[in-house]
Structure 1
Amino acid sequence: MEYLILFGALLFIGLLVFAKGVWDQSRQRGYLRLKQKESFGKPSQRTYEDGETEGIPRYFEKHRDGFYLDDTTWNDLNLDMLFLRMNTAQSSAGQEYLYHMLRTPCFDRTELSKREEMIENLIREEEVRVQLQMLYLDAGRTGKYSLYDYLDFLDQLGERSSLPQIGMDLLLVPAAGIMALNPSLGIVAVVALLSVNIATYLKQRKVIDPYLTSFRYVFRCIRLAERLTAVKADFLEEEKEKLRDLLKRFQGLKRSASFGMRRPGTGGSPLDLVLDYLNMMFHFDIMGFNRMLKQVRAHAGQVDELLTVTGRLEALIAAAGFRQSLESWCVPEQDGEEGSAGEGILIQGLYHPMVTEPVKNDIAAGRGVLVTGSNASGKSTFLKAVAVNAILAQTVHTCCADRYRGGPVRVMTSMALRDDLAGKESYYIVEIRSLKRILDAAAQDGPKVLCFVDEVLRGTNTVERIAASTQILKSLNRPGVCCFAATHDIELTELLKEEYDNYHFEEEIEGGDIRFPYLLLPGKATTRNAIRLLSIMGYDDSIIQAAQRMAEQFVQSGRWEGEGAGSGPKERRKESMACRK
């Protein structure tokens, strides 16, 4: 009777522990679901560990087909920061596909329409979206390395066969038979064979353990696909059908995973302990790993397709969240649609998504645009805003504007360049290489090139800069190209007035301070602030006044004249000769 009471008490305690575990897990899931709802439509607050972002571009690097944003354009526009703001994806497949999507503008109207329909459904169907987000949360990430890194590592294993393991297991049969005739000899034979098996097992496990991470994530993606097909939502039917077809081809891989996925010593149950010893003696898990290796290699294309389908869906969830996070946005109009006409770009209420409290601007460009203005007046930010929105229109189908209309464009930039110290190239060489790649792209077939150039050829002298800049910008005024350029060289506004529309930004001087309204105005700039900024920063009045007189003389005469006795060109030559003597 006492034993029954003790057993009942232990059983009751066990049930309480089990019930508490279930309750805690349910509360945790409820908290996570609530978090998904509350965080949707807000910029990503995720923090990244050192090196965690290095593997994100791998999917893109494996799928660089057709046009994509090159490194110069991506870095000029600081699109890494925009990606991090947008990246609410909770699986590796999702965040890698989102990165790929941003770097690969889509020129297919049908695909863009499908993205729009999916984004609208994901915003409207909150319960379905949260269910999807929870599934992707369960799938998780691979950490510092991409799955594609791990799949590449598989090549280092070479060909693996299970014949040695099978042979050693078969030798145990006659060894066991010997025990019936000669027990002592039979026991020695069995122990010897098992000892060899255990020794080789430990060696083999060290080899295959690093590769199990890739297999586990593939298996998690397969499990994710199975669960996605069970989600009840009509707008997901196309994705679910693709996943069902893929799952049929992964049956062999799932069977192989039953033994090959376990790590020895990771389970705490008696059954796990028994399985660990059986694997050590008979190598079941190593043979399972070898089968999985063959299956993964044979189905590499299907694994890639699986990551594409699952990743694309979560990337569109992130795109939907990005749209909801914007104060104002619009769905881009394509040229040729009702209410639009002509080839060009029209943007109303344009702003940059990374600028807080932005000033909105309008632009309608049927040909090249030349923007002038003072330092810090907003020229570069305006160019970047147009470029970023042209990219967003063709990727996440959401623009930071009240209205956006334009056709397919290949966006290219030459803006935030630097000396290439590693390549031992000066700023000017880097700059002319950057401009040359735009000219080369303009000569190739494809959608219109929409290019952005900030301060053309700033790395050389004034005379040659203006001459070369004029001809380069003229060469970019051709069918199939639309160029936005910003410059301080006011001379270009006259030299290019037949090819480019002039716009400018102004500043306002209030007392001893300077203010920028950041409003785009038609025509060329008529004000300058470089000398005024010297005054505001406390430079000596004599420097300010002399510089101002020189500038005014140049504007009136079109040539530079020295300030003060002995400072003209002839006097400077005489002084130079005197110094040499």
Structure 2
Amino acid sequence: MSSKTSSDKDHIAQIKKGFFNFGQIEKYFVNDKRDGVFQVISDRTFQDLDLEDVFKFIDRTVSCVGQQYLYYFMRVIPLGDARKERLENVISIFQADPALRAATTTEISKLNKTDAYYITSLFHGKYTPRPGWYWLIQLLSAVSVLAVIMAFFLPQILIFLIVLLPVNLGIHYWNKNNLYQYGSSIPQLLILTQTARSILKNPEFAAQNNALQAQVSMLDQLGLPMSIFKIEAKLQGEIGMFVDYVFELFKALFLVEPVLLFTILKILDSKRQHIEDVFRFVAETDIALSTLALRESVPYACQPDFHLELKHLQIRDVYHPLIFDGVANDLTLQTKSALLTGSNMSGKTTFIRTVGINALLGQTINTCFAHAFAMTAMKIHSSIRISDDLLGDKSYYFEEVLTIKNLLEESRSGYSNLFLLDELFKGTNSVERIAIGKSVLSYLTQGSNLALASTHDRELSNFLADTFDLYHFTEVIHQDAVIFDYKLKPGKLVTTNAIRILELNDYPSTVVQEALTLAAGNR
């Protein structure tokens, strides 16, 4: 992809404003079976890489269904290239036809109401079961219809209808709770089906989705009976209210709602896969629009280059998407992993997250915030943000022990893995920390695995020189100010400024002098 320029103002303007309801957004991801996928990103890595904030940035979808599926996209790396190829194919269609892009955006945006979040319940959730006495509902409905017909010939039947009406009213209003459960999802399913049908009218989409067209047609046949669920559309004004009351009485007398509800639910239960396929089609189309808008809004981006060469990572001008004025960096790893050194706030952890975020987005939305990003397909694991679990009575060290144990197990999975590690075992003493750190990092990088790790222990670099390339970040003290350039540099860190920074912050001279003396003696 060619790079493009964009001002910071334009960069920010595309970001969605307002509240992100992740309880609703993650519904599809939480309930999907996720069979046959390459990796599901763990909650640990999701938190370590600040992926909730990253999602807020990359989300340019115009519908709730697209937003839900984009979250799934970001949390699930698929097997193979099929999803990526579909995404790029749709993006290329919209790039070639701006008018179609605008029209499709308008069509899909009809699903931007929060009610659309509930469509997933129609293929993931359990349906309200028919009551054991449903036969009585059917019988009373049929009797009511028959009685009305007979009343034209035998007016005395009206007395029977007056007696029957309270019974039917009781059943009608008993069913309201059942009806309200689908008052959001089923009307939105109607809009979803209409949206899919509209998109499929375009020859570019129709030719590739013959099976989907048949599924849309089947769901279309349910459009008329499902329209009864648009209970939120009330008639306005006094005449409207009168008509509404009459219509409500009509539905109660003939038990229209419970009969239609349980009939429709039975049909929908048998069409779960149809509904999900249509959901995915519309959602993927929205994701293609979102990804295209994202690529156009950032300073530059690229599609990653995947290859079969193992233990290979080559990055040029990569940047963190949430740092608008951030410094871009390069990194090339060939058979060796990378060990980063440098002081606090120099950029080590941010760079580790930058690589992790781009490696993930490259394998999900096929987009990296870099001029070039070449990698082996890799699972992504992390240990960056560890904290005490006070409620679970776990110390920082024990929490990290359990986290690293999981990574050691993943390293033997037979897949290529990218391990992102920030200051291993800093909850223990330096002698044991260095010893454990060396053994763990050596173990993690066996086979086709790569690791990107940071440390304050410069001694660790001596033990890992055969398996890790050394890089560092440095700061410069200029006119009593600490200046960070956030530029990754090859080699071992040879200068330190920690004690000098204490001096600049007016620590007592005796403290500074003693620290300098002790540090000199330990070098």
RMSD: 2.6
1:198–1:331 distance in 2 versus 1, CA, 3 Å: same
2:297 to 316, 322, 325: 325
1:455 aligns with 2:426: no
Question: Quick check: 2:311–2:333 contact (8 Å CA) kept in 1?
Answer: no
Q: Does 1:538 align with 2:506?
A: yes
Deviations 1:98-123 (A, max 9, x none): 11111122342344233223223323
Residues of 1 paired with 2:176 and 2:467: CA distance? Answer: 69
TM-score by length of 2: 0.90
SS at match of 1:249: helix
Q: Deviations over 1:105-147 (max 9, x none)?
A: 2342344233223223323422111111111111223359543
Q: Which residue does 2:328 correspond to in 1?
A: 360
* Cα shift at 1:240: 4.4
Contact conserved, 1:413 with 1:451, CA < 8 A, in 2? yes
TM-score by length of 1: 0.81
Q: How far off is 1:162 after superposition?
A: 5.0
Pair 1:493–1:250, CA change in 2 (3 A):
same
Residue among 447, 469, 474 paired with 1:479:
447
2:72 alignment partner, SS class: helix
Answer yes or no: is 1:347 the counterpart of 2:315. yes
- 2:5 counterpart residue number: none
Question: CA contact under 8 A between 1:107 and 1:394: conserved in structure 2?
Answer: no
Q: Deviations over 1:162-195 (max 9, x none)?
A: 5323322343446885897784xx4432211112
The answer to whether the aligner puts 1:430 opposite 2:399 as a matched pair is: yes
- From 112, 131, 135, the equivalent of 1:163 is 135
The secondary structure found in structure 1 opposite 2:382 is strand
Counterpart of 2:455 in structure 1: which amino acid?
T
CA separation of 1:327/1:58 partners in 2, compared to 1, >3 Å: closer, same or farther? same
The code of the aligned residue for 2:389 comes to D
Q: Which residue of 1 aligns with 2:3?
A: none
Match of 2:57 in 1: 85
- Superposed, 1:166-205 pairs within 5 Å as 166-172=138-144, 173=146, 183=156, 186-205=157-176
Tell whether the 8 Å contact from 1:335 to 1:343 is kept in structure 2 after alignment.
Answer: no
The separation in 2 between residues aligned to 1:143 and 1:127, in whole angstroms, is: 28
Aligned 1:442-521 pairs, distance under 5 A: 442-446=411-415, 448-521=416-489
The 10-residue stretch of structure 1 (130-139 or 38-47) with the greater mean CA deviation from structure 2: 38-47
* SS of equivalent residue, structure 2 residue 25: coil
Deviation at 1:150, TM superposition (A): 6.5
Secondary structure of the equivalent of 1:138?
helix
Whether the 8 Å contact between 1:44 and 1:84 is mirrored in structure 2 is yes
SS at match of 2:23: coil
Moved more, 254-263 or 264-273: 264-273
Deviations 1:49-105, CA, capped at 9 Å, x for gaps:
6xx221111212214333111111111000111111111212221011111111122
Name the residue aligned to 2:6: none
User: Does residue 1:246 correspond to 2:246, yes or no?
Assistant: no
Moved more, 364-373 or 145-154: 145-154
Does residue 375 (structure 1) correspond to residue 382 (structure 2)? The answer is no
Q: Is the 8 A contact 1:57 1:100 kept in 2?
A: yes
Distance of 1:177 and 1:404 partners within structure 2? 78
Q: Which amino acid aligns with 2:459?
A: E
Distance in 2, matches of 1:420 and 1:360, equals 35
Query: Which structure: larger Rg?
Result: 1
CA contact (8 A) 2:11 2:298 kept: no
Aligned position for 2:517 = 549
Alignment of 1:64 with 2:34, yes or no, is yes
Secondary structure of the residue aligned to 2:78 is coil
Cα contact 1:42–1:322 (8 A) shared by 2:
no
- CA 1:281–1:394 in 2, change beyond 3 Å: closer, same or farther? same
Counterparts of residues 210-359 of structure 1 (less than 5 Å): 210-230=181-201, 232=202, 234=204, 236-237=205-206, 240-262=209-231, 265-266=234-235, 269=240, 272-335=244-307, 343-359=311-327
**Where does structure 2 lack aligned partners over 5 or more consecutive residues?**
1-8
Structure 1: 5+ residue stretches without partners: 1-37, 556-581
- The 1:169/1:40 distance shift into structure 2, 3 A limit, reads farther
Letter in 1 for 2:373: Y
Conserved 8 A contact 1:453-1:484: yes
Q: 1:400 aligns with which of 366, 369, 377?
A: 369
Higher RCO, 1 or 2 (CA under 8 Å, sep at least 6)?
A: 2
User: Which one is further off, 531-540 or 352-361?
Assistant: 531-540
Tell me the distance in 2 between the aligned counterparts of 1:239 and 1:158.
Answer: 39
Amino acid at match of 2:360: I
Q: What residue identity is the alignment partner of 1:431? A: E
- Identity over aligned pairs, percent: 24
Q: Are the aligned partners of 1:260 and 1:292 in contact in 2 as well (CA < 8 Å)?
A: no
